[in-house]
Amino acid sequence: MRVVVRTVSELCITVGALIVLFVVYVLFWTGVRADGAMDHQIDVLQDRWARQSVPSSAAAGTSASPAPAPAPAPKSPAPYAAGRAFAIMYIPRLGFTWNKPVLEGTAVDTLKKGLGHYAGTARLGQRGNFAVAGHRRTYGDPFKDFPRLRRGDAVVLTDGTTWFTYRIDKGPYKTVPADVEVIDPVPRKSGYTREGRYLTLTTCDPEWGHSHRLIVWAHLDSTRPVEAGRPGALRR
């Protein structure tokens, strides 16, 4: 009998230790890895933008001015590459140090590295609905404080050339995962009645579950060239 009790006790201790380790992994280690991954994505973006801003003559180390060339016909912007970062998002309501990379797609591995743009929705700043998803908890907890968002709050993004300032009109609105209309070009429950330049943010609810979704809708309020400095919403 004593052997049985001892065995059961040791088993309970082992199981308890495993549970503690799992909780530490979920609460701490995934966050550490995700923070590092998001910082890396931002560094990669900023390096890419810095290289793109260097004139070709300077990059080649020449001082001669090239002869003017005929202006090329405007091209459609290249599609966002799946799993690749293309913008940085700032939400002052969540803290003036809060900034996250936005990557193309909402695959599991993509959302471990930042926020994910719903493929098929509008491009940043363009007509339609630019829709973005993010984890509420785990993997850096990017949208942990999502319920704090309020009407009038600014959501600012940059693609390296332009600042885009959106203003929240409605939310957080609670719905179910099957309600895919929330990322329509004109979301029916958003209050918008005609086409525009909109932003939708989505995350899970409750905080440690995924039975529902929280939604925020915003409209494009203003744009500003990066060379002109940060927009007012990011100035303290």
Is 204 among the residues known to form the active site? yes
Give the model confidence (pLDDT) of 52-96 as tens digits. Answer: 876 644 444 545 455 555 555 555 678 999 999 999 999 999 999
> Is the model's pLDDT at 132 over the cut of 60?
yes
Q: What is the pTM of this model?
A: 0.82
Q: Which of 117, 135, 137, 197 is catalytic?
A: 135
The domain locations on the chain are 1-53+82-236
Among 11-25, 105-119, 126-140, the minimum mean pLDDT is found in 11-25
Estimate to the nearest angstrom the gap between the alpha carbon of 161 and the chain centroid. Answer: 18
**Residue 148 corresponds to which tokens in the numbers above?**
């704090």
Please name which of 173, 166, 174, 182 lies closest in space to residue 118, comparing C-alpha atoms. 182
Task: Name the 3-class secondary structure at 39.
Answer: helix
Q: Which of 117, 136, 137, 204 is catalytic?
A: 204
Average pLDDT over residues 29-42: 79
Please name which of 53, 100, 87 lies closest in space to residue 163, comparing C-alpha atoms. 87
Instruction: Please state which architecture CATH assigns to domain 1-53+82-236.
Output: Beta Barrel (2.40)
Q: Rounded CA gap, 218 and 203, in Å?
A: 15
Please name which of 118, 94, 99, 136 lies closest in space to residue 200, comparing C-alpha atoms. 118
**Residue 37 corresponds to which tokens in the numbers above?**
């991954």
Ordered DSSP codes for 178-210:
T-GGGGSSS-GGGT--S--EEEEEEEEESTT--
Give the model confidence (pLDDT) of 194-204 as tens digits. Answer: 999 999 999 99
At residue 166, the pLDDT reads 98
